[in-house]
Amino acid sequence: MSNPLLDTSSLPRFGEINPDHVLPAIEQIIANHREQLDTLLANNPDPDFDSLVVPVELMEHELGRVWSPVTHLQSVLGSRDWREAFKQALPLLTEHGTEMSQNVSLQRAYAGVGESLAADACESQRSAVDHALRDFHLAGVDLPAADKNRFKEIMQELAAYQASFEHNVQDASDNWSLHIQSAEELVGVPQQALDRAAEDAAEKQLEGWLLQLNYPTYDAIMKHAHDRQLREKLYRAWSTRGSDRGENPEWDNSDNIVRILALRHEAANLVGFANYAEYSMATKMADSSDHVLGFLRELASRSRAAAEQELSELQEFAGADLAPWDITFWLEKYKQAKFSVSNEELRQYFPAKTVINGLFELAARLYDVSLEQNNEVAVWHEDARYFSIRNSAGETIGGFYTDIYARNGKRNGAWIDECISRQDINGSTALPVGYLVCNFPPLDDTGLSLLTHDDVVTLFHEFGHMLHHLLTRIGIPSVSGINGVPWDAVELPSQFMENFAWSYEVLNKCSSHPQTGEPLPRNMFDKLKQSRTAGAGLAMLRQLELGMFDLRLHAEYQPDQPVAALQMLDDVRAEVSQLQHPEYNRMPHAFSHIFAGGYAAGYYSYKWAEVLAADAFAAFEEVGIFDPDTAQRFRREILEVGGSRDIVDAYIAFRGRKPTIDALLRQDGIQSA
C-alpha cells in the first residue's frame, strides 16, 4: 500500500508515515466511506444490526485507526509540518462527522434497528444503537435544512478555534525561557532540574541555566526555589500563557475563548437546549447542570473550614501572608517540618523504570495479566516504548505505547488516547491499543529519570485509564473500553488506581534507590502517608473552582450580554477560593481541558468521578486491597463493560449500593471516619 496511513492491518507504521501522507489518506478514506454508506442505505430496505450497524461501526473504526496517529504525533512532536497536516485534515473530518450524524436516512435506519432489536438482544448492541440515536439528535438530524447547515458550519468553526487555542498554548510555552546566570537565584532547586536547565542553556550556547516553561521545570521551581521573585516569574509566565498578558501576545487566546463559547451556545440552542451545559449533560451521568452545581457547592461547603485552617497554618508557619506562588513552596516546607518528608528525598527512590515495573506487577496481581516490552514495534521517538498485555492463558489481549519524558514541542500534561479500539464483530477482530503520555523529567546521562511521588500518582492515574481501554470485553467499538462511558464517570478507573500509590506494599515494588537498590524505607512511607491530607482542603477548593468556573461559564452564557471569562473567574473565586490572585492571572487562556479538549461543561467530572473512586476503593480497604474477588468484581462490572451498560447499574453491581461523598472527604482528611 503506497500510503502507510491507510494500512490498518497492523499497528501504525511510525517508521514510514510522514505529514505528506495525512491529507491524501483522509480524503481517500472519507470518499470510500461515503460510497460505502450510499450503497449500504440504497441496498438495505429492511436493515438489522448486522446489516447496518456493523458496517457503520467498521467504517468508523477504520477511520479512527487512520486518524489516531495524526492526532497523536501533532501532540508529541515539535513539528510544524505535523501540526499543519493536522490543521488541513481536521475540517474534512469534522465535516464528515457532522454529515454522518445529520444523515436522516441513516438515522431512520438506526431507529428501525432499535425498534426491531429483540427483547433479549445483548446490552452492547442495544447501547450502541441507543447512543447513536441520541447522538443523531445532538447533531441536529431533526433540524430544517438551513439550521442543519448552520450546525455543520458551527462544528467546523469550533474545530478550528479549538485547535488554534491548543496551538497557541503550545507555542507560548515553547517560546518562553528564562536565562539564569547566578547560582544564588536557584538555591533549593533540585539537582535533576538544575542539570536539565544547564543542558538547555548549553544547547543555546549560553552560560548558566535556561529555565523553560514545561511542567517538570515549573513544578520544581514552585516547590523548591527559595528565591520568591523567581517563583513569581515562573508563576506569571505559566498563568499568562496564551494570553494578552503573556510575552507573546500574538498567541493570545482571548478571541478564541469568545468565539468558542458563542458557537457552543448557538449549537446547543439549535438542537433545543437552553445552553451548552445542558447540551453537555445529555451524555453525562449527572442529571443537570443545577444538579452538578449543587454537588460542587456541597463539596465546597464541607471543605471550606479545612481549607481555611490549612491556609492559616501555612501562613503562620511562613510568618507572612502567602501569594499563589508561595503556597506550593511553603506547603512543601511544612510537610518537611511536620512530617519529616521531602519530595526530593522521596524522589531518590522512584526511578521511572522501577516505578513502571512495579505498576505492571500490581496490574498482574489485581487482574491476572502480564505486561511485556516489545522492541520490534516501530515508534516515533527514541523515548517511546511499546508493551503487550496478555491474559492468564498467555494470549495477547492488547498493547500500548508509552512516551513519558518531557521535551520541547511536546504538549504539556499527561494523558492517554486510543490508537485502536477493541473490535470483534462480523468475523473481524482488532485488539485494543493505546498511547500513554506523560511529561516526567528526561533521562539523565546515566539513564535515570527520578520521579516525585506526585509523578508516581500521575502515572498510576493514566495507567488506570489504559487498563479501562485494554481490559474491555466489548467488541462493538463505539461502546468498548472508554467509548460510550459518560464523561463524568470515565475518570473512575484512573482516580481509583491512584489510591494504590499510597500503599506501602505497592510502593515497595515500585521503588529502588539507584545506588543501594533498597526500596522506599517503611518509616519514609509512613511519613508520606501522614502527609497525604496536608493541603487537601486547599486542593479540593482549587479543583472545585475550576469545575464551577467551567460549568457556570457554559450554563450562564447569554449571547446578548456574555459575561467575560475573567469576570466569571473572579465571581467563582470570590465564592470558593481562599487565595488572592494577581490581576494578570489569565488561567482561562491556557485551560485546554475545556477550550480545546473534551471537558467543556464537564471539568466537574474529576471530582464527580473521584467520589466514585474513593467509594470504590473503600470496598477494597474493607476486605484487603489485593482481595482477588473484589478485584475481579471491579474488573468485571466496571473495567470490562465499556459504555455497554448504564454506569449507575454497573457501579451498584460492583459496590452493592450507590456511591456517597463521605469516602472522599475521609480520604482527604476533611471529614473524620
Query: Grid cell 481562599 — which residue?
Result: 578
pLDDT tens figures, 123-180? 999 999 999 999 999 999 999 999 999 999 999 999 999 999 999 999 999 999 999 9
Q: Which helix (H) or strand (E) holds 401?
A: strand 396-405
331 and 534 Cβ atoms separated by less than 8 Å: yes
Give the separation between CA 579 and CA 265, rounded to whole angstroms.
31
335 phi/psi in degrees, rounded to 5? -60, -40
Grade residue 673 by pLDDT with cuts at 50, 70 and 90: very low
Mean pLDDT score, 547-570:
96
Cell numbers describing residue 318: 511562613
Mean pLDDT score, 537-565:
97
Grade residue 672 by pLDDT with cuts at 50, 70 and 90: low
Indicate if the pLDDT at residue 98 is higher than 50: yes
pLDDT score at 1: 55
239 and 584 Cβ atoms separated by less than 8 Å: yes
pLDDT tens figures, 27-56? 999 999 999 999 999 999 999 999 999 999
pLDDT tens figures, 218-261? 999 999 999 999 999 999 999 999 999 999 999 999 999 999 99
Select which of 157, 462, 491, 545 is catalytic. Answer: 462
Mean pLDDT score, 402-413:
93
Give the separation between CA 518 and CA 88, rounded to whole angstroms.
52
Give the separation between CA 68 and CA 421, rounded to whole angstroms.
10
Cell numbers describing residue 517: 537498590
- Evaluated on CA atoms 648, 652, 655, 660, the torsion sign reads positive
**Which domains, from first to last, does the chain contain?**
4-101+103-138 (1.20.1050.40), 176-251 (no CATH)
96 and 33 Cβ atoms separated by less than 8 Å: yes
Per the annotation, the verdict on 575 as an active-site residue is no
Inter-helix orientation angle 54-76/80-101, to 10°: 160
pLDDT score at 278: 98
Give the separation between CA 615 and CA 609, rounded to whole angstroms.
10
Mean pLDDT score, 406-426:
94
Grade residue 408 by pLDDT with cuts at 50, 70 and 90: confident
